[in-house]
Amino acid sequence: STCYLTSSVLCLTSFVLLLMKDRVVVITGGSSGIGKALAEVFGKRGSKIVITGRNQTALDGAVKDLQQQQIEVLGVQADVTQE
């Protein structure tokens, strides 16, 4: 049933977040959108965060936002679409 599937997904998600406590999580595209939201979720649960982004200004803003939430974060300007 849908409820069972939803519960399983939530259980798995909680398990993954628990496993990543005190570990480094690298998130590409972490200066906005889904990437930044993931950085917040993992960071609030004790992961150390590295976010990458192409735009240094946006990246700096995201790092500042995450640090204000007491999240340990490092921002690295990078374009992972290039070899």
Q: What is the DSSP letter of 18?
A: H
> Could you tell me the end-to-end alpha-carbon distance of the chain, in angstroms, rounded to an integer?
44
DSSP letter string, 35-66: HHHHHHHHHHTT-EEEEEES-HHHHHHHHHHH
Q: Give the H or E element holding residue 74.
A: strand 73-77
User: Could you count the other beta carbons within 10 Å of the beta carbon of residue 56?
Assistant: 11
How far is residue 14's CA from residue 72's CA, in Å, rounded to a whole number?
20
Assign 28 a pLDDT band (cuts: 50, 70, 90).
Answer: very high
Is 19 a residue whose pLDDT tops 60? yes
Read off the pLDDT of each residue in 53-58 and give the average, rounded to a whole number: 96
pTM for the full model? 0.82
